Chain A
């Protein structure tokens, strides 16, 4: 049902509802599509796609995006966290709880999954915008296809998070939404299957063109706007051909067209509209020549078409996104296609001849949830010594039970010494391991990730990142690793 907000609402009014903050998380590795054709003899294409590391899944991708989204607005605490993905790390068990744990959200914040369909990401965003309270909408996806196929090349992995709420901090206010829903089978995947199947392409294109034009027109009408008023239009969907065709049909001005990131990141399923929206808002925020009031339309094609009309506010100029998507894209590093296949389970390399780790103890993990999910240590109130993991008795002075929790997830550090372990079990050997001293105190020996062994040196600056170390008996072991702070990465 279309929701109408009067376009005359004064900017900065407490009644304004919209987006308070947004962030995308693009994993470090890039697969060059020409690398696919070089290996397979066919397929591939131009550009790159982002690839989640072997220690990332949709939960960690979403958590990293959510960390970035909240970092820009430290005072904001969501009432609820919604997580949408088409490739959940768990079924039955909620994945949003792990994201909430990584964010150290209070227990009274509801955390819910909206899973399965590619429409779930935009669905969460629309529902949050049209609802009440402060909602952190998180979406992440990892898109797979069979080797050499179109989905493998066109897909991408990323997370995105949008903080929706009310008040003067809103950087893009909701103006209107419109949805068009249709039951047809264009792309489908049975539970347990890793890749989609597709109907003949022309059928979906035909449906999506009609649905997209319809919802776009109704959204603009509800907003009382013309096509010419649209400052930026984000058009996304897994049906690349339909997306391209719709973009042409909408008669958008040239300046309204924006990079949909499919050439660099790939199409990231449920997360994609949120990712591109984040990128567009970051671009608008970074350009002082653009006045507040820019109309941004987000359109996503998935089993229908959803249109969201937003308008930037004067608060956008004060918003400082900690790590814009464009910078993350620029900082990516190439991943050989064979490694990509291994990480996606399409190619089984010889494993290290070491025992695989045992499953995580659920009870132990729960007792230590602040440490394991939040990377929270303890600091001796007397000596100031930081203990990782937290300790009841201090290593300096021996004070007993005189510690305060100290969150270390957002503290950068420096490599004191490091090594490469070619023997230890890892889903992707070798393990690069470093002794890290944190700024302001604290040391932790930790595995490095998103790193080429040759680039590590004593003195390398690192940040913590939430990862999945391994899985055993279907239980994922989430914990933290460190990764190099990339050029310009100091937030």
Chain B
């Protein structure tokens, strides 16, 4: 028994990502075709070269047919995966393991979501029939309980906490403004963030992720085959996943200042990748900033700052584009937008651009000599969460 990981066994050799936006003129099929066409081109292959597909979508379709039909794949093994907001990451994890197992030579992970056809703001889960006792609270409300709990535990007053959260929003908009694929490309001021209408608890509009349509994809091969496809592959160093038991919701011991599922996933990933000091060994991190307090707490869960200190690091600019450890250099969920099934793969896409030095000059990070990048993707709520962590690297070994 044990989580052994597949360090350096599998490589990403091609990626694509559509702009994340309110694509009123594009359906799910268009987004899939756009992202996949770019990805095939990126790896220099066509659809028939792919031996197996994993397709992640939370709610935009069911079964592998949702991918097979628009791409006109004939009798390929196509599997639909869903795991809340980590759906895209799960598609990649499955494809990577399939390649590592030797079952397939070339596998593709595709994530796509058409969110903006619902006619409602925000994300809306389609729940199975139930007894009517399930919570109907929004994700914003569940995550809004984190900020006051954190402030109370670590003695951060409300005004300072608001400043910290606004700093995160400003940073992610700053980064997104330099990303042509991002949903929101306008920098904001702290004042704008602080004065925005409140949606849940103390969280305002600018504390929440953008809601967008989009798709992203990756092609994976065995590490030893990678250079046949590209001279700059990304090697998978770690893939970890943790599903909570949901007991945080009913356990009087849980205090809403940390996400145990994320801590567990990070610990496993660091062990797989041999990382002992993530703050200094990682060139960058893409993290699941669904709400600004989520990003704050993740800085501690992922080991970038000791407990109770991330708020100071945020104010010090540690996680800014030019900081010690750039976090969400692509703008994150906050300004890149969050098409659920695509977001996990979008995070890999930023690692792909940054570690290969393909990012636009005005957001290229300066830390790439560290050679490693992380993606962190979560789904659910405080107390009832799934969490994914990956580490990818530009070099073997």
Question: Contact residues of A with B, CB < 8 Å?
Answer: 353-355, 357-358, 360-361, 364-365, 367-368, 371-372, 385-389, 395, 416-426, 431, 433, 435, 437, 441-445, 447, 458, 469, 477-479
Chain A residues near B133: list those with CB within 8 A: 368, 371-372, 389, 479
| B120 interface hit (Cβ, 8 Å) | yes
Asked if B131 and A423 make an inter-chain contact with CB atoms under 8 angstroms apart, the answer reads no
Q: Which residues of the other chain, B, contact A437 by a CB distance below 8 angstroms?
A: 252
B178-197 residues with Cβ-Cβ distance < 8 A to A are none
**In the complex, A458 Cα to B136 Cα: how many Å?**
22
Report the Cα distance A443→B200, complex, angstroms.
22
Q: Which residues of B, 105-144, contact A by the 8 Å Cβ criterion? A: 118, 120-122, 124, 127, 129-133, 135-138, 140-142, 144
Known: A372-B131, A443-B252. A422 touches B136 (CB 8 A): no
Contact among B122, B137, B141, B252 for A441, CB-based, below 8 A: B252
Residues in B with CB closer than 8 Å to A367 are 131
B178 vs chain A, min Cβ distance (A): 30
Q: Are B252 and A477 in contact (CB under 8 A)?
A: no
Query: Distance (Å) between the CB of A375 and the closest chain B CB?
Result: 9
**Complex: how many Å from CA A353 to CA B256?**
28
Q: Is the beta-carbon distance between B145 and A424 smaller than 8 angstroms?
A: no
Cα of A422 to Cα of B135 in the assembled complex, Å: 15
Check if A477 sits within 8 Å of B249, measured CB to CB. Answer: no
Give every chain A residue within 8 A of B254 (Cβ-Cβ). Answer: 443
B275 within 8 A of A: no
Chain A residue, CB-CB nearest to B152: A458
Q: Are A395 and B131 in contact (CB under 8 A)?
A: no
Asked if B1 is an interface residue, CB under 8 A from chain A, the answer is no
Checking B120, B122, B136, B247 against A395 with a beta-carbon cut-off of 8 angstroms, the contacting residue is: B247
- Please, which residues of chain B bring their CB within 8 A of the CB of A372? 131-133
Cβ distance A425 to chain B, nearest Cβ, rounded Å:
6
B250 near A469: Cβ-Cβ < 8 Å: no
A371–B132 alpha-carbon span in the complex (Å): 11
Interface assignment of B201: CB less than 8 Å from any CB of chain A: yes
Q: Which of A361, A423, A444 contacts B141 (CB 8 A)?
A: A423
Q: A372-B131, A372-B132, A421-B140 are in contact. Are A443 and B256 (CB under 8 A)?
A: no
Given contacts A365-B131, A417-B148, contact A423 B121 (CB under 8 A): yes
**Chain A contacts for B359, CB-based, 8 A:** none
Chain A residues positioned under 8 Å from B121 (CB to CB): 353-354, 423
Instruction: Report chain A residues within 8 Å CB of B199.
Output: 422-423
Q: State the 5 A-B residue pairs at the shortest beta-carbon distance, nearest first.
A: A421-B141, A360-B132, A361-B129, A477-B132, A395-B247
Residue B149 lies at the interface, judged by CB distance under 8 Å to chain A: yes
User: How many pairs of A and B residues are in contact by the CB < 8 Å rule?
Assistant: 116
Residue pair B129, A424 in contact (C-beta under 8 Å)? no
How far is it, in angstroms, between the C-alpha of A418 and the C-alpha of B383 when the chains are bound? 14
| CB closest chain-A residue, reference B256 | A417
Cβ-defined contact, A424 with B130, below 8 A? no
B276 within 8 A of A: no
Cα–Cα distance between A4 and B250 once the two chains are bound (Å): 56
- Once A418-B145, A422-B200, A424-B137 are accepted as A-B contacts, the answer to whether A354 and B122 lie under 8 Å apart by CB is yes
B252 to chain A minimum Cβ distance, whole angstroms, is 5
B250 with A442: CB separation less than 8 A: yes
For residue A424, which residue of chain B has the nearest CB?
Answer: B138
Q: Bound complex: CA of A387 vs CA of B248, how far in Å?
A: 11
CB–CB B124/A354 < 8 A: yes
CA of A385 to CA of B130, assembled, Å: 25
Interface of A, helix, strand, loop or mixed by DSSP: mixed
Q: How far is the CB of B75 from chain A (nearest CB, A)?
A: 36
> Does B362 lie at the interface of the complex (its beta carbon under 8 Å from any beta carbon of A)?
no
Interface residues of B in 252-272 (CB under 8 A from A): 252, 254, 256
Report the minimal beta-carbon distance from B124 to chain A, rounded to whole angstroms.
5
Q: Which residue of A lies closest to B198 (CB)?
A: A422
CA distance in complex: A416, B251 (Å) = 12
The answer to the question of B245 belonging to the interface, with a C-beta cut-off of 8 Å to chain A, is yes
Contact A419 B141 (CB under 8 A): yes
Of all chain B residues, the one with the shortest Cβ separation from A438 is: B252
Across-interface contacts of A386 in B (CB, < 8 A): 250
Known: A421-B201, A443-B252. 18 other contacts (CB 8 A): A353-B121, A354-B124, A364-B130, A365-B132, A372-B133, A389-B133, A395-B247, A395-B251, A417-B148, A421-B137, A421-B138, A424-B136, A424-B137, A424-B138, A426-B136, A442-B250, A443-B249, A445-B383
Question: Which one of B142, B201, B250, B252 contacts A420 once the chains associate, using CB atoms below 8 Å?
Answer: B201
Q: Please give the distance in Å from B250's CB to the nearest CB on chain A.
A: 5
The smallest beta-carbon distance between A401 and chain B, in angstroms, is 17
Residue of A365, A421, A424 with most partner-chain B CB within 10 A: A421
* CB-CB nearest in chain B for A430: B200
Residues in B neighbouring A458, C-beta threshold 8 A: 148, 152
Complex Cα–Cα for A416 and B248 (A): 13
Complex: A104 Cα to B250 Cα, angstroms:
23
CA distance in complex: A145, B135 (Å): 34
Residue of B121, B135, B152, B245 with most partner-chain A CB within 10 A? B135
With both chains docked as a complex, state the minimum distance between the C-beta of B338 and any C-beta of chain A, in angstroms.
15
Cα-based distance from A421 to B129 in the complex (angstroms) = 23
Nearest residue (CB) in A for B141 is A421
Q: How far is the CB of B59 from chain A (nearest CB, A)?
A: 12
- Which of A386, A387, A395 is most buried by chain B, counting CB atoms within 10 A of its CB? A395
Is there an interface contact between A442 and B252, defined as CB atoms closer than 8 Å?
Answer: yes
Q: How far is the CA of A147 from the CA of B298 in the complex (A)?
A: 53
Q: Can you offer 11 A-B residue contacts whose CB atoms are under 8 A?
A: A353-B121, A358-B127, A368-B133, A372-B132, A388-B250, A420-B141, A421-B138, A431-B137, A433-B137, A435-B145, A443-B251
**B contact residues around A360 at 8 Å (CB):** 130-132
In-complex Cβ contact of B136 among A357, A361, A368 (8 A): A357
Indicate if the CB atoms of B141 and A431 lie closer than 8 Å.
Answer: yes
Instruction: Give min CB distance, B385 to chain A, whole Å.
Output: 14
The answer to whether B250 and A395 have CB atoms under 8 Å apart is yes
Residues of A within 8 A of B145 (CB): 417-419, 435
Q: Contacts A355-B120, A437-B252, A443-B252: A421 and B200 contacting too (C-beta < 8 A)?
A: yes
Chain A: CB-nearest residue to B140: A423
A residues near B249, Cβ cutoff 8 Å: 443-445
Question: Could you tell me the distance in whole angstroms from the C-beta of A482 to the nearest C-beta in chain B?
Answer: 13
CA distance A103 to B52 in the complex (A): 56
Contacts of A418 in B (CB 8 A): 145
How far, in Å, is A447 (CB) from chain B's closest CB?
8
The chain A residue with its CB closest to the CB of B127 is A358
Q: Judging by beta carbons under 8 Å apart, are A433 and B130 in contact?
A: no
Report which of A395, A417, A479 forms a contact with B245, defined as CB distance below 8 A: A395
Contact between B131 and A443 (Cβ–Cβ < 8 Å)? no
In angstroms, how far is the closest chain B Cβ from the Cβ of A436? 10
Cα distance A116–B129 in the bound complex, in angstroms: 33
| Complex alpha-carbon distance, A458 and B199, angstroms | 20
Would you list which residues of chain B between 366 and 397 have a CB under 8 Å from chain A?
383
List of A residues within 8 angstroms of B247 by Cβ: 395
Bound state CA distance, A437 and B254, in angstroms?
11
Highest count of chain B CB atoms <10 Å: which of A385, A395, A435: A435
Whether B129 pairs with A364 at a CB distance below 8 angstroms is: yes
Query: Whole-angstrom distance from the CB of B339 to the nearest CB of chain A?
Result: 19
CB distance from B245 to the nearest CB of A (A): 6
